[in-house]
Structure 1
Amino acid sequence: MKSKFWSTVFGIMALTVSLSAEAKPFLDDEVSLFLNTKNNKNQSLPVIITFQTTESFNELPHHPFNHAEVQRKMMTENQFKIDMLINQKNKKNIFNLWIAKSALTNVDRQELGELSNQSEISMITFAHKKIVMAPTKMRKPQVVQSLTYGLKNIKIPELRAKYPELTGRGMIVGVLDTGVTPTHPDLKGKILAYKNFSPNSDQNPIDDFGHGTHVTGTMVGGATSGLAIGVAPEAKVVVGKIFDVKGESTKEEILKAMQWIADPDGNPNTNDFPVVVNNSWGDDEPYRSRDPKEDEFCTVIDSWIKLGMVPVFTAGNNGPRDETINVPGACPNALTVGAVDQFDRNPRFSSSGPTSWKTIKTIKPDVVAPGVDVKSANQFGRYENMSGTSMAAPHVSGAMALIIQAKPELTVEEAIKSLIMGVQDFGRAGKDNTFGEGRIDLLKTIELIKKQ
């Protein structure tokens, strides 16, 4: 098997060289400026080098059962490309970003010039591009009820009455955000793994911005206050902190976190990865002139799916105009979530589709969920109401955990299809650019799964 795999790798590489001799990598503005500036001879630039997509192994079903085998093959093939294509004196400083079919490194002008002429490289981008967390509207907590309206609207009370075992037990979910407050009464004992990728160097679990704890509460929070806030309260969480106290990060650190969360302990043979990853953030970089294959985040999403991980992303808060969904929510294979209020109305802030890339136009969002005045945990151990598609997405992430708990043999595509089969359609009949397929209804989805 090993010799057959490597012969296939060499065959694919040779074919790529012969067929794409004229192609040159896409360079973003920062990289192009560095390459064309003559007075930076002794300087270097941190870059992300992304390779052409040429997977040499037979694709397995997109299921968690195949995670370890797929991951090992991705890691090996990407390292092979690094060794073949990047001719640097000190290769110890090259980071194998296999999740994005990329490499992270620093290059000088001469090295960049050589790389920019290689047809086997699809793009070279600035690694330290700043990405900022979108602001979220906050309000004081409202009158305490037994469950948040969000849980009620997606039919959690009816679901728990009929299927009391569906609480998320045995499931691992992931969140990449501003961190988490692990001592919150509704989150104690639920943080399975944590790593800080933000400019804040503290590796102890912390949320110095407040956004991540709220999101995590909606996914897995308990009911110690008498108010149930979480969709999957018995699930465990893997948390990557990607934003600092100012809500800022870089593309490099986010991509590293996206790779880490696919294998938190660095051992592909252990099942410590999440079945779903919540991403309540976005990047405002324009994408109309690019192919999704020329975007690192879209590549990561495709890798997550192959690893059996559901990629949940927010639509964004730039509505109500059309074509306001940012990357990564704009990536064709992301499960993109818009917001509705308590009465299933579209709030004006929720971003709308379609998403228009150079090569593809897609109706987005895919689904909607409660995202206005959602009550959940805050970083101070108390509770807070927040609004945004950031609050809608974790309802969907928690729902995906329960769907997979109900039927573990589902592939990523089958789990997403099951979610969509149960939605309540609003707006124009069928999928539209405001409500997507509709607002999720977890009871209906689970009942449909049980009948299959």
Structure 2
Amino acid sequence: MKHIIINAFYLFGIALGCFSTAQAQKIEREVQEMLHTRGHVEAIVMLAEQVDLSFAQQLSSKEAKGAYVFQKLKATAERSQAPLWKILTDAKLSASPLWIVNAIFIPNLDQASATLLAAHPAVQAIISNPHTYLSPPRMETEMASLRSSVEWGIEKIGAAAVWAKGITGQGVVIAGQDTGCDWEHPALVKKYRGNVEASPNHNYNWHDGISKYNPLNNDTLNPCGLNSKFPCDDDNHGTHTMGTMVGDDGAGNQIGVAPGARWIGCRNMDRGWGSPASYLDCFQWFLAPTDLKNQNPNPKLAPHVINNSWGCPDIEGCGPNNWKLMERAIINLRAAGVVVVVSAGNSGSQGCGSVDDAPAFFPQSFSIGATNISDVIARFSSRGPARWQDTLVLKPNVSAPGQAVRSAVPGGGFASFSGTSMAGPHVAGAVALIISANPALAGQVETIETLLEKTAVSLTDTMNCSGLRSDRSPNPVYGYGRINVLAAVEEAQRISTPVDTPTQQKIAIKISPNPVVDGTVLIEVGTLPDAGKLEVLDPAGRLLQRHVLPQANFQSKNLNLEALPMGTYFVRIVAGGAYGYQKIVKI
């Protein structure tokens, strides 16, 4: 074993010798090793320049936010990437722009081109594109006693009661990034946005992110092939998750939370194998859907919510660099007014801190745990808290039914699966019902997420994790609890307008610790342009505390929240022509 290790370091040293010190610092170690051993590698080139999208918060409509974010991202990428495309063209390398994060995916990068790219000052890093496998959900033997026209999970979260109000998700578009979807399934065909008056039009409604077979699969066995021009599922997973969001065949199979909503889809895996590039490709397409030639992007056709029942774990090659790109994509989608729902993972047997799979642990992801029919956390459901960049993050955000969930499978059938993959779609459907109940909330991501958190049924546990107790709510087992979409819809209907946000220049606010346990937090903002005020608001925008900031050079302040009950709050700072706005959780 010792001899093998020495040889490995010797070979790696040779690989490093092919690059200057400055170049080597930009090229991820895995990329250098692959270039040395194979001569080529799948890689993503990250550019240093990123876009400040804070102005999007000042725009009231989802359409305006989407158009602004798309234009800024696209223009920045085209300008900053221009000299790199000349290098790629001269080397006759095919590549795909990932303008959503200002990066370029290169399927077959060679060492000479890597050297030129790394030498360019616009390049921040050249990172690997590992292929990761979706752990399949567990199939359940269907219990006849649980079978009814409306599935138990839909009843449990109150969706059927919302339908009784005439609210079924109408006017809302749900997206699924998954193994694809059987669009002709009887429970889904009438819900597909591309099925207009029985004349299918897949432009802007479907995108296949799989243009190359995964080397670990048998090419001849994929029923969808490559670059499918119509929605197709090469596994059961994508059809099942979509069924839980919108499914209803009109013949007694009411499997979807929001049967009045429309759906669009993107295939991001080849029979369960995906990669950061395929995930980012789908995120990009959802921000501005294109025609089937992947041209003429239109942000007006972006969905309201995206379900993501997949992961990119470090055990399969993902790591901080490609995680940062996925986090950036989610941040940019949120700025465009799109809610991003993510399954928390199925590593609950590992106990505390098992929400350790990207993108579930990102602070900006709305992560979902899984419960059973008795409102008890499923044994497999990953527990929090999560850690991201040395920060403790309360995860999951909420929980939803995820054990023995019956939904659609390709070929017109139905099956029961268990996993947080089944819980996430319940929440995506709930988002559609909330927006359908109050269309003014379309694009108001923070408000929608807060509604789901504050109206959730509080559930507790005996497990304590990283000093966070689970006998109170929110907690690292259930988050804020199991969602109650009826209560969320009723609360949404009482909101006349989204929570107002001042329209000045934005101030970055850092809050630590967050979540807060003992009630005292440190607020850090740096130097302010003028004297101002610091306010604490509840999720409805009601003022709870106000503190005067008499000096322009204010930098930090200890804030005491002991008198406030557990829950979600917002810290807002207004000073001169600037403002800051940050969420805080007390547990």
Kept in 1, the 8 Å contact 2:178–2:309? The answer is yes
Instruction: Tell me how far apart the structure 2 counterparts of residues 203 and 260 of structure 1 sit (CA, whole Å).
Output: 15
1:126 aligned residue: 128
Kept in 1, the 8 Å contact 2:245–2:258? The answer is yes
2:269 aligned residue: 243
Q: Which amino acid aligns with 2:30?
A: E
Kept in 1, the 8 Å contact 2:276–2:322? The answer is no
Q: Which has the higher contact order (CA 8 A, sep 6+)?
A: 1
Deviation at 1:205, TM superposition (A): 2.4
1:140 aligned residue: 141
Q: What SS does the aligned partner of 1:123 have?
A: strand
Deviation at 1:120, TM superposition (A): 4.8
Deviation at 1:112, TM superposition (A): 2.2
- Does 2:395 correspond to 1:399? no
Instruction: Tell me how far apart the structure 1 counterparts of residues 323 and 120 of structure 2 sit (CA, whole Å).
Output: 15
Match of 1:54 among 32, 50, 57: 50
Percent identity at matched positions?
29
- Does 2:309 correspond to 1:313? no
Deviation at 1:107, TM superposition (A): 3.2
Pair 289,174 (structure 1): closer, same or farther in 2 beyond 3 Å: closer
Kept in 2, the 8 Å contact 1:24–1:118? The answer is no
1:19 aligned residue: none
1:437 aligned residue: 480
Deviation at 1:233, TM superposition (A): 0.3
Instruction: Tell me how far apart the structure 1 counterparts of residues 232 and 54 of structure 2 sit (CA, whole Å).
Output: 41
Q: Which amino acid aligns with 1:430?
A: S
Q: Over alpha carbons, which structure has the higher Rg?
A: 2
Pair 250,58 (structure 1): closer, same or farther in 2 beyond 3 Å: closer
- Does 2:333 correspond to 1:304? yes
Structure 1 stretch 48-57 or stretch 142-151: which is displaced more?
48-57
Q: Which amino acid aligns with 2:80?
A: K
Deviation at 1:180, TM superposition (A): 1.3
1:83 aligned residue: 82
Pair 436,119 (structure 1): closer, same or farther in 2 beyond 3 Å: farther
Kept in 2, the 8 Å contact 1:289–1:357? The answer is no
Kept in 1, the 8 Å contact 2:289–2:299? The answer is no
Match of 1:262 among 264, 276, 287: 287
Pair 345,297 (structure 1): closer, same or farther in 2 beyond 3 Å: same
Structure 1 stretch 172-181 or stretch 246-255: which is displaced more?
246-255
- Does 2:412 correspond to 1:381? yes
Pair 292,419 (structure 1): closer, same or farther in 2 beyond 3 Å: farther
Instruction: Tell me how far apart the structure 2 counterparts of residues 208 and 197 of structure 1 sit (CA, whole Å).
Output: 13
Pair 53,434 (structure 1): closer, same or farther in 2 beyond 3 Å: farther
Instruction: Tell me how far apart the structure 1 counterparts of residues 28 and 383 of structure 2 sit (CA, whole Å).
Output: 26
Deviation at 1:217, TM superposition (A): 0.5
Kept in 2, the 8 Å contact 1:187–1:221? The answer is yes
Match of 1:362 among 375, 393, 398: 393
Counterpart mapping for 1:178-189 below 5 A:
178-189=179-190
Deviation at 1:442, TM superposition (A): 0.5
Pair 261,25 (structure 1): closer, same or farther in 2 beyond 3 Å: farther
2:4 aligned residue: none
- Does 2:40 correspond to 1:44? yes
1:5 aligned residue: none
Pair 85,371 (structure 1): closer, same or farther in 2 beyond 3 Å: same
Pair 123,227 (structure 1): closer, same or farther in 2 beyond 3 Å: same
Deviation at 1:378, TM superposition (A): 1.4
Instruction: Tell me how far apart the structure 2 counterparts of residues 80 and 448 of structure 1 sit (CA, whole Å).
Output: 44
Q: Deviations for 1:356-394, whole angstroms, at most 9, x for unmatched residues? A: 233322111111000000011111212111100000000
Match of 2:305 among 262, 265, 276: 276
Instruction: Tell me how far apart the structure 2 counterparts of residues 85 and 359 of structure 1 sit (CA, whole Å).
Output: 33
Q: What SS does the aligned partner of 2:278 have?
A: helix
Instruction: Tell me how far apart the structure 1 counterparts of residues 241 and 318 of structure 2 sit (CA, whole Å).
Output: 32
Deviation at 1:23, TM superposition (A): 11
Structure 1 stretch 415-424 or stretch 280-289: which is displaced more?
280-289
Deviation at 1:438, TM superposition (A): 1.0
Q: What SS does the aligned partner of 1:364 have?
A: coil
Aligned length: 423
1:324 aligned residue: 354
Q: Deviations for 1:374-418, whole angstroms, at most 9, x for unmatched residues? A: 011111212111100000000000111111222223311111111
Deviation at 1:101, TM superposition (A): 2.3
2:173 aligned residue: 172
Q: Which runs of 5+ in 1 are unaligned?
A: 1-21
Counterpart mapping for 1:8-27 below 5 A:
27=27
Kept in 2, the 8 Å contact 1:290–1:357? The answer is no
Q: What SS does the aligned partner of 2:314 have?
A: coil
Pair 335,422 (structure 1): closer, same or farther in 2 beyond 3 Å: same
Deviation at 1:117, TM superposition (A): 5.5
TM-score, normalisation: structure 1: 0.86
Deviation at 1:119, TM superposition (A): 6.2
Q: Which amino acid aligns with 2:77?
A: N
Q: Deviations for 1:278-304, whole angstroms, at most 9, x for unmatched residues? A: 011111126999768962211111111
Structure 1 stretch 64-73 or stretch 107-116: which is displaced more?
107-116
Instruction: Tell me how far apart the structure 2 counterparts of residues 111 and 230 of structure 1 sit (CA, whole Å).
Output: 49
Instruction: Tell me how far apart the structure 2 counterparts of residues 406 and 416 of structure 1 sit (CA, whole Å).
Output: 15
Structure 1 stretch 50-59 or stretch 144-153: which is displaced more?
50-59
Instruction: Tell me how far apart the structure 2 counterparts of residues 293 and 357 of structure 1 sit (CA, whole Å).
Output: 13
Instruction: Tell me how far apart the structure 1 counterparts of residues 362 and 53 of structure 2 sit (CA, whole Å).
Output: 24
Q: Deviations for 1:94-128, whole angstroms, at most 9, x for unmatched residues? A: 4220112211124332332344456654432223x
2:62 aligned residue: 64
Q: What SS does the aligned partner of 1:59 have?
A: helix
Deviation at 1:169, TM superposition (A): 1.2
- Does 2:451 correspond to 1:418? yes
Kept in 1, the 8 Å contact 2:368–2:420? The answer is yes
Q: Which amino acid aligns with 2:422?
A: M
Pair 299,197 (structure 1): closer, same or farther in 2 beyond 3 Å: same
Q: What SS does the aligned partner of 2:459 have?
A: coil
Q: Which runs of 5+ in 2 are unaligned?
A: 1-21, 194-204, 214-224, 461-469, 496-587
Q: What SS does the aligned partner of 2:382 have?
A: coil
Instruction: Tell me how far apart the structure 2 counterparts of residues 142 and 242 of structure 1 sit (CA, whole Å).
Output: 32
Instruction: Tell me how far apart the structure 2 counterparts of residues 121 and 443 of structure 1 sit (CA, whole Å).
Output: 49
Deviation at 1:90, TM superposition (A): 0.9
Pair 267,417 (structure 1): closer, same or farther in 2 beyond 3 Å: farther
Instruction: Tell me how far apart the structure 2 counterparts of residues 334 and 28 of structure 1 sit (CA, whole Å).
Output: 26
Instruction: Tell me how far apart the structure 2 counterparts of residues 46 and 423 of structure 1 sit (CA, whole Å).
Output: 43
Deviation at 1:267, TM superposition (A): 4.0
Match of 2:207 among 184, 192, 195: 195
Instruction: Tell me how far apart the structure 2 counterparts of residues 136 and 343 of structure 1 sit (CA, whole Å).
Output: 20
Kept in 2, the 8 Å contact 1:322–1:353? The answer is yes
Q: Which amino acid aligns with 1:82?
A: Q
Deviation at 1:142, TM superposition (A): 2.9
